[in-house]
Amino acid sequence: MKSLSRLLSLIALLLAGASAHAAAETPAAAPKPEKAETELTRTMDKVNAAYRKLRKQAGDAAQNAGSLALVATIREHIVAAAKLEPFKLTEIPAAGRPKMLEGYRAKMKELLATIGELEAALKAGHNGEAANLVEAMKALQKEGHKEYKSKSID
C-alpha cells in the first residue's frame, strides 16, 4: 500500500513537471501593439458599415430606397474623409507629403464619381449596373488602402 501511494505521488510529480515544462515552452503571446486610431479610421468605419449593407442589397430593386439612403451615408462620410489626411503622411519624409496628399484626394474624387454613378443607377432601377458599381468601389478601396493606408492601421 505504501509503495502504491509512493508510486502515485511519483506519477503526480512527473505530471506536474511535464505541465510546467509545457508552460515554459509556450510563452504567453506577445501583446499586440495598439493600432493607431485616427479621425479617418473612425470615418472609414462608418463608410464600411454602410458599404457592407449596400453590398448585400444593391442588386435587389425592392430595396432601392434603403440602398439610396446607404449611398447618401457613404457619400457624406467620404466627403468628410477626403478633407482629412492619411496617417501615412506622418511616416514619410516631408518632401513627399504634398504628392501623396494629392494622390489621396484624387482617389477619393474617383470614389465620389463612382458613388454618383451608383446613385443614378439605383434611381433608374438599373440594379445589375448598381451591383457592378458597388464592386468597382471595392476595387477603389483596395487601391486606396494599398497606397495610402499605413501598415500600423490594419
Provide the binding-site residues for ligand HEM, judged by CB under 6 A: 38, 40-41, 44-45, 47-48, 51, 86-88, 104, 107-108, 111, 137, 140-141, 144-145, 148-150, 153-154
* Least distance between ligand HEM and beta carbon 139 (Å): 9
Closer CB to ligand HEM, 49 or 61, in the complex: 49
Considering the complex, what minimum distance in angstroms separates the CB of residue 98 from ligand HEM? Answer: 16
147 in Cβ contact with 92 (< 8 Å): no
Task: Decide whether 17 or 104 has the Cβ nearer to ligand HEM.
Answer: 104
Residue 46 and residue 58: Cα distance in Å, rounded?
Answer: 18
Query: Nearest distance from residue 63's CB to ligand HEM, in Å?
Result: 18
> Could you count the other beta carbons within 10 Å of the beta carbon of residue 104?
22
> Which among 85, 91, 95, 55 is positioned nearest to 71, based on CA atoms?
55
Q: Which is nearer to ligand HEM, 9 or 152 (CB)?
A: 152
Question: Closest approach of Cβ 27 to ligand HEM, in Å?
Answer: 27
H/E stretch holding 125: none
Q: Which is nearer to ligand HEM, 7 or 113 (CB)?
A: 113
Rounded to the nearest whole angstrom, what is the least distance from the CB of residue 6 to ligand HEM in the complex?
A: 58
Cβ atoms 107, 143 nearer than 8 A: yes
Where b means 16+ CB within 10 Å and e means fewer, 41-56 reads bebbebbeebbebbee
Q: Looking at beta carbons only, is 123 or 142 nearer to ligand HEM?
A: 142
> Which three-class secondary structure string do you get for 137-150?
HHHHHHHHHHHHCC
Among all residues, whose Cβ is closest to ligand HEM?
Answer: 144
